[in-house]
Amino acid sequence: MGLVSPDYGTIFWMVLAFSVVFFILRKFAWGPVLNMLKEREQSIEKALQSASEAREGLSRLQAEHERMMQEAHGERELLIAEARQIREQLISKAREEAALENARLLEHARRQIESEKLAAMSEIRQQVATLSVDIAEKILKKELADRSKQETLIKEQLSDLKLN
């Protein structure tokens, strides 16, 4: 058993024991462990990737949300402005229409009054005419009751004719 001369007994046991342990460890330890390590690394990588993707998606969603909010805000402003405008328009239009209608009604009333007045006037005139004829008749009847008076009237009339 020299210091630098390899001992064949040691070599024999070393080859035997080392090989046995090597094959056992290769099958039952290193294989599973290395596989698991790889798997774990992959799953961690995948998890990290999906986390970053999720983060990205989230930020995208947030941006979208922000944009939509902005848009909605703008739209609301627009709608309010439009509504205000419409209201004003409506009011002014209503006012105008009311004025127009008012004028029309006034005109109508005036015309009605005019025509009523005319009708009334003509009726009055007729009545006045009938009344005056009646009165004239009555007066004439009274006047021409005696013969002399009739004769004078005829004479008068005749003289008038002569004049003409």
Partner 1 sequence: MKRWMYLTGFLILMVTSGLPLLAAVEEGQSQHSEAPKAFDAGKFIMEHVMDSHEWHIMKIGETHIRIPLPVIVYTKEKGLSVFLSSKFHQGNNIFNGYMLAEEGPHEGKILLANENGTIKEEAPLPLDFSITKTVAAMLVSLLLMLLVFLPMAKKYTKNPNRAPSGFQALIEPIIIFVRDDIAIPSIGLHRYEKFMPFLLTGFFFILTNNLMGLIPVPPGGANVTGNIAITALLAVFTFAITTFSTNKNYWKHIFDAPGVPWWLKFPIPLMPFIELLGVFTKPLVLCIRLFANILAGHFIALSFIVMIFIFGQIHWIAGYGSSVVAILFYVFMTMLELLVAFIQAYVFTLLSAIYFGMAKVEEHHS
Give the footprint of partner 1 on this chain (CB under 8 A).
1, 3-15, 17-18, 21-22, 24-26, 28-34, 36-37, 39-40, 43
* Residue 13 or 77 having the CB closest to partner 1: 13
3-state secondary structure 5-43: CCCHHHHHHHHHHHHHHHHHHHHHHHHHHHHHHHHHHHH
Distance of alpha carbon 5 from the chain centroid: 105
CB of 42 to partner 1, least distance (A): 9
Distance (Å, whole) CA 156 – CA 123: 34
CB of 50 to partner 1, least distance (A): 14
* Residue 24 or 140 having the CB closest to partner 1: 24
Distance of alpha carbon 154 from the chain centroid: 91
CB of 59 to partner 1, least distance (A): 28
* Residue 38 or 125 having the CB closest to partner 1: 38
Distance (Å, whole) CA 127 – CA 120: 10
* Residue 46 or 155 having the CB closest to partner 1: 46
CB of 23 to partner 1, least distance (A): 9
